[in-house]
Chain A
Amino acid sequence: MIVGLDVGGTHIDAVIVEKGNIIDTIKRPVHRTHLFDSIWTTLEELFSRHDKAKIERVNLSTTVSTNAIVENKTSPVGMIIQSGPGLPNDYLACGDENVFVSGYVDHRGKLVKDLDLKEIQKAIELFKEKNITSCAVVTKFCTRNFNHELKIKKLLEKHFSSITMGHSLSGKLNFPRRVFTSYLNAATYDTFKDFSNNIKKSMEREGIDAPLYILKADGGTTSLSAAEERPVETILSGPAASFMGINALLHTDEDALLLDIGGTTTDFFFLADGVPLFEPLGIEIGAYKTLVRALYSHSIGLGGDSSIDIKNRQLKIGPKREGPPYALGGPKPTPTDALIALDNMKIGNKEKAIEAMKILSQELDLSVEETAQKVLNTMGDIIKDETNKLLDQINSKPVYTVKELLYGKKIKPQLINMIGGPAKFLQPILEKKFNLPCYFPKHYHVANAIGAALAKITTDVTLIADTSQGILSVPEMGVYEKINRNFGLDSAKQRAIELLIERAISVGASKDEIETEIIEESVFNMVRGFFTSGKNIRIKAQIKPGLIGEVKGDKDD
């Protein structure tokens, strides 16, 4: 038995999946101020209906870190930033205290100027004076050489309870994003740790010793202890849960558009040959662009409760929600009112829904029914236009080789899979507008929890081998080791896979479930003068994204 739980904006959903069957579901309201209690009472109720000994794992998609960031309830952070030469650095000041220190390494990780330890001592005093307990240390090009970050951490260790180092969060190059990601990690550290301690205690009390995993924005999970070290990876896991849910309920190996049409928003996702599309660098939260690995998702203000206005005799739906639908006592006509007026949905006051359509129909010179149809059609148009825009952007993302430019993969959806309240009723409209088959699953109301339940452990590694310097490094793992001059691409790939497996086990995977893949590989001859001085090898490897299993027989088309 696998338990999956997803915390949404208004509800907590949880499910139990056993051998591909959804054997139980539960939906409870969420109290944002008592998030942990809401989660635990939901779980308790679900557990009480089953044999606890049979629980194999518990997967949670929580909003603990996200809420802390969005609601500004994070811990104060002391930032130590080594920005070296390049862009101005003032805009990197994101902590409560920011100390910029001297010294730097270049793009190959060669030391150019050493640290000034006096500056670090001063920072320590400043942070202590301000009662800061959480710190982050980030240096430019630390993914190439993180020695300065280690040195600084060593000095801070005695004084502060949590220290985040930039290189431990991502192997990708992007200094500003690494600074912000490290800040957010340090800022959510305590909040997440509290949550984690609570859940551990409660599980123990309940006598459940199944492992517990936390859903990440990339649609995979990580162990609770790994999440304690990198809480920033758990932000914005909600869209990932819904993506995984759609994918679990409606499996495909083709290019596809995935839609989650909810009350206030519509989320867009894509599959390329059945494989999820990721954000090229990382997710954005509030004002921060980060290096947190995430599924590609795009959200627009369009849903069942979006308010409808008329502008220049045209329907304008969203992006705002100004309350519940008119038929449920709201102030404005909404798409849900259109559905009620058409007898598609049987909720609320139908008379009110018709009244809402009349408000619109007068200006449009249409009947009530025609108006309601037009509302749904307009939603279809908005979704179609947005999809085309997104595909244009995705298919023109920068590439760097002749081969990719000429023959690179372009995503062309062959079908649409969707969930969400209004989705069922938009199915015929979208089928017509896109001229593609649209599918809609039975268990859509708990799709997110199912997605959480079936998510696999994911992780990745970025390896750089520079044979002229004789160094191999994997920054996320703190690996910095010597290699000989004959080290080649094959050895590099082999080492990347070994390290990936090691890392997967450290974040909670068991050996038999690990499926690895190399996603990027390149090797450059380094020439200095007229001679080859070495090779620069770059590898990215990851645990294959995907699901623990499928849910049986859920296609409902």
Chain B
Amino acid sequence: MIKANNKLGLVFFPAFDWAISSTHPEREERLLYTQDQIFEEGIEDIEGIYLYNPIIATEKDIQRVHFCVPDVKSRLTESHFISAGGAIKAFEAVINGDVDKAFALVRPPGHHAQRVVYGDRGFCIINIEAVMIERIRQQNKDLRVAIVDTDCHHGDGTQDIYWNDKNTLLISFHQDGRTLYPGTGFLDELGGPSAYGYNINIPLPPGTGEEGFLYVLDNVVLPILDEYKPDIIINSAGQDNHYTDPLTNMNFTAQGYAKLNDKLNPDIAVLEGGYSIEGALPYINLGIILAMAGIDYSHVREPDYDKDKLKQPAGITEYIKKLSDMVYERWQKREALRTGIIKGKDCVQRTRQIYYDTDGILENQTQNFKICQKCSGVNTIDSQSDTGYHIFAITIPIDACSNCLDEGYRLYKNTSRSNYTNIYLQDRVNDLYYSK
């Protein structure tokens, strides 16, 4: 029998009875053929591969990450608690030492869900990776995490959540925001004042293939990870860079995804997007499982795979080389760049308009990050939605100093309900959450 070189935990939860709507890409059928493929290959019988059911995330788990408006229960379905619970189960299996690595093949996905949640955007309501990380981090406060988002769409939700957190490095490579939803993820989105340079975007041109993705991995991602030295590497594993994906324009392959995971060597992978459910997902998921388990994946390929057709044009290769140089250069200069940004300031403001494509909601928000010498600083969000909410949300970060802690509570106490529909306080130091 085949034996896994790395003990791999697999949380496979296709949620066959849940859909956004019956013809939506995020529907019951999505993981049906993936299940067929992994069942037929006999994955569950491989020595060293362990199957787990998701646990069910709690309201508290969600509140560590999000401000759900008006509250958690009105925004989430049971499936969201389970999907986040699936990711948590994967991380727990790794952190408890039951397995070496884990892959959460769950749905719905999460990487477009930002801190404030009025509804569904990019098929995501809560950020399942962030919910997972913060639950584990509550017990391991100094955990250094690197998230490598390999979904074709910019991981804008994850970027928002970890914008000001130096202990969570985010590297997202994705199809250029000028050509694809959500239209963000450019080079200059480098992070908040406490984590400037630790949010790294690599916007790739349409048509990028195996060569380009692996070039970025070898020349940007892996060198940065070497320097950052994370305790845990998470692959936010979207599968929509595939050449058959109906929503995107890239030329990545199942072999490419497997190689990427082999080289990246993540501790945890969490499924994100990917909607070529028949021609891509069965093969990519199989490739990722084998690569993570340390089993030969060289025989995995799609039925219509054609190496010559998928060869990356020389122009794209040149563009990606230049882009990679720029990204890596900024990483190296991050301290100097940060100094320039915060010079003479005691806070940094960030104003954005956010569109919830799935639910058709428009949000305007201003975030305010205090610059503190002792901690990453208390920060606030003032946000209005066209559904009639106007909220004020305060976050006391997990590393907050006593001044910032006090200031957070003072802000919560002193902000009057007459100006806002809802006011929230997220106290990560004491793991508490208040709303009024």
Contact = CB atoms under 8 A, between A and B. Distances in A.
Given A85-B301, A402-B79, A532 B23 contact: yes
B433 interface: no
B53 A86 contact: no
Interface string B245-264: 01000000000000000000
A88 interface: yes
A525 B16 contact: no
Given A85-B299, A87-B295, A529-B246, 18 more contacts: A85-B300, A88-B2, A107-B33, A107-B37, A107-B282, A173-B39, A174-B39, A174-B42, A176-B42, A287-B1, A398-B52, A400-B35, A401-B16, A401-B17, A402-B82, A403-B17, A532-B22, A532-B23
A399 B53 CA distance: 7
Given A108-B278, A525-B29, A87 B42 contact: yes
A525 B32 contact: no
Q: In the A-B complex, list the 9 residue pairs whose CB atoms are closest, starting with the nearest.
A: A176-B42, A173-B39, A112-B303, A173-B40, A107-B36, A401-B17, A524-B29, A88-B296, A398-B51
A405 B55 CA distance: 9
A177 interface: yes
A501 B283 CA distance: 37
Interface in A381-417: 396, 398-403, 405-406
Contacts of B13: 400, 405
Nearest to A142: B40
Given A107-B282, A398-B53, A536-B29, A175 B42 contact: yes
Contacts of A526: 29
Given A112-B303, A401-B15, A140 B32 contact: no
A240 B190 CA distance: 65
A292 B232 CA distance: 42
Nearest to B287: A86
A384 B282 CA distance: 42
Given A398-B12, A400-B35, A402-B79, A177 B42 contact: yes
Interface of A: 85-89, 91, 106-108, 110, 112, 140-141, 172-177, 281, 287, 289, 396, 398-403, 405-406, 522, 524-527, 529-532, 536
Contacts of B84: none
A403 B14 CA distance: 12
A110 B2 CA distance: 27
B41 A405 contact: no
B175 to A, nearest CB: 20
A401 B14 CA distance: 7
Given A108-B33, A524-B29, A527-B27, A176 B45 contact: yes
B78 A175 contact: no
A406 B40 contact: no
Nearest to B36: A107
Contact of B290 (A87, A106, A172): A87
Contacts of A175: 40-42
A395 to B, nearest CB: 10
A144 to B, nearest CB: 8
Given A400-B35, A527-B27, A106 B303 contact: yes
A286 to B, nearest CB: 12
A3 B427 CA distance: 74
Interface string B271-287: 00000001000110010
A393 to B, nearest CB: 11
A287 B45 CA distance: 12
Nearest to A175: B40
A175 B35 CA distance: 13
Contacts of A289: 1, 45
Contacts of B56: 405-406
A525 B30 CA distance: 10
A399 B231 CA distance: 31
A401 B39 CA distance: 16
Nearest to B290: A87
B287 to A, nearest CB: 10
B45 A86 contact: no
Contacts of B300: 85-86
B28 A524 contact: yes
Contact of A177 (B45, B53, B54, B79): B45
8 contacts: A112-B303, A175-B40, A289-B45, A398-B44, A400-B16, A401-B16, A406-B56, A525-B28
B298 to A, nearest CB: 8
B18 interface: yes
Contacts of B54: 405
Interface string B82-97: 1000000000000000
A175 B45 CA distance: 11
Contacts of B78: 402, 406
Contacts of A174: 39-40, 42, 45
A173 B42 CA distance: 8
Nearest to A112: B303
Given A85-B299, A107-B37, A401-B15, A91 B1 contact: yes
A442 to B, nearest CB: 42
A86 B296 CA distance: 9
Contacts of A529: 246
Contacts of B14: 400
Most interface-central of B36, B54, B78, B278 (chain A CB within 10 A): B36
